[in-house]
């Protein structure tokens, strides 16, 4: 009985060994197949890499060709635009030069016209000096010349006889000379920037002394002359003749002066045909 049992066990073990051996063989066959596949894949990798690189080069080349084509087209468009812009700039430059020439010609003509107007104004002033009377609405006013009326008034109050005219002449002459003195600058500045302006400084010592000695009206007459000189001839400080509208208290226009002179000449022609 024991021998049979042992024999059965041996047979069972043999069967198991056979099964294991078969499985090992099958596993070996699988391993071999896998090994063959790995080797085959390993052999294919360089070829695939080569193919991939060739495809990449082909794509890059195509893209480069497309890029070159686009760049060429854009360069063509840019050149066209550049030529058009250069042409336009050249046209504008020519127009600008023409405008500069025209502007220069106009400036020259304007200066000539201004010179002619100034010369006509001077001639008109010379003519009106002889034609205009004391009651003329348009005439010649010497800006910066001291008004002698306040001086005469105070001299009449203080002096008698021949002394009136003598003192009056001396006083007017003295202050007309004083007005011309470049070392005397009785002005002060008010405001700042573009709003800054010069006005007569009434606290100036000479003006205060004049007011104390000869009165407010005489001081105002000198002050008015200073204002006129500062407006019409600040650099020269001497009286200048100006075409003047006495009725409205302002500079007269050339047209007003010519009209007045024409009127005066017609009146004289009627009086002395």
- Per-residue HEC secondary structure of 164-175 comes to HHHHHHHHHHHH
Q: What is the pLDDT of residue 132?
A: 61
Q: Quote the pTM value.
A: 0.55
Nearest CA to 139 out of 259, 238, 270 is that of: 259
Residue 188, phi-psi category: left (phi > 0), alpha (psi -120 to 50), beta (remainder)? beta
Count CB atoms within 10 A of the CB of residue 245: 17
> 45 pLDDT band (50/70/90 cuts)?
confident
- 132's tokens: 């205009």
- 116's tokens: 């002619």
Report whether 140 contacts 264 (CB < 8 A).
no
Reported as type and span, the H/E element at residue 56 is helix 2-131
Q: pLDDT tens-digit profile of 170-194? A: 999 999 999 988 889 999 998 888 8
Count CB atoms within 10 A of the CB of residue 126: 11
Which residue carries 């063989």 as its tokens? 25
Q: pLDDT tens-digit profile of 67-114? A: 888 888 888 888 888 888 888 888 888 888 888 888 888 788 778 777
- 205's tokens: 């010592």
Q: pLDDT tens-digit profile of 195-247? A: 888 899 989 999 999 999 999 999 999 999 999 998 888 888 888 888 888 88
**pLDDT score of 7 more than 80:** no
**pLDDT score of 258 more than 90:** no
Segment 122-148 shows an average pLDDT of: 78
141 vs 2, residue with greater confidence: 141
231 vs 124, residue with greater confidence: 231
Average pLDDT, the chain: 83
What is the 8-class DSSP label of residue 141? E
Segment 17-38 shows an average pLDDT of: 71
For the chain, percent of residues with pLDDT exceeding 90: 23
Using CA atoms, how far apart are residues 140 and 134, in angstroms rounded to an integer?
10
Using CA atoms, how far apart are residues 161 and 127, in angstroms rounded to an integer?
37
């Amino acid at each position: 009985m024991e021998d049979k049992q042992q024999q059965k066990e041996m047979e069972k073990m043999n069967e198991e060994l056979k099964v294991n051996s078969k499985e090992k063989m099958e596993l070996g066959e699988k391993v071999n197949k896998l090994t063959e596949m790995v080797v085959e894949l390993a052999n294919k990798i360089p070829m695939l890499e080569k193919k991939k690189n060739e495809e990449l080069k082909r794509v890059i080349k195509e893209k480069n060709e497309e890029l070159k084509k686009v760049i060429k087209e854009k360069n063509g468009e840019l050149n066209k635009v550049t030529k058009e812009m250069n042409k336009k700039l050249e046209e504008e430059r020519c127009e600008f030069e023409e405008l500069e020439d025209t502007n220069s010609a106009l400036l020259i003509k304007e200066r000539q016209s201004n010179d002619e107007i100034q010369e006509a104004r001077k001639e008109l002033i010379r003519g009106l000096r002889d034609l205009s009377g004391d009651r003329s609405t348009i005439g010649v006013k010497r800006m910066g010349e001291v008004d002698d009326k306040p001086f005469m008034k105070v001299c009449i109050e203080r002096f008698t006889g021949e002394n009136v005219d003598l003192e009056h002449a001396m006083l007017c002459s003295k202050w007309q000379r004083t007005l011309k003195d470049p070392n005397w600058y009785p002005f002060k500045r008010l405001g700042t920037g573009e709003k800054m302006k010069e006005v007569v400084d009434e606290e100036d010592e000479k003006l205060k002394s004049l007011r104390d000695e000869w009165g407010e009206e005489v001081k105002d007459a000198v002050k008015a002359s200073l204002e006129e000189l500062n407006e019409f001839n600040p650099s020269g400080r001497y009286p200048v003749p100006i075409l003047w509208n006495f009725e409205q208290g302002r500079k007269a226009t050339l047209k007003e002066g010519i009209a007045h002179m024409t009127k005066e000449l017609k009146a004289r022609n009627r009086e002395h045909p």
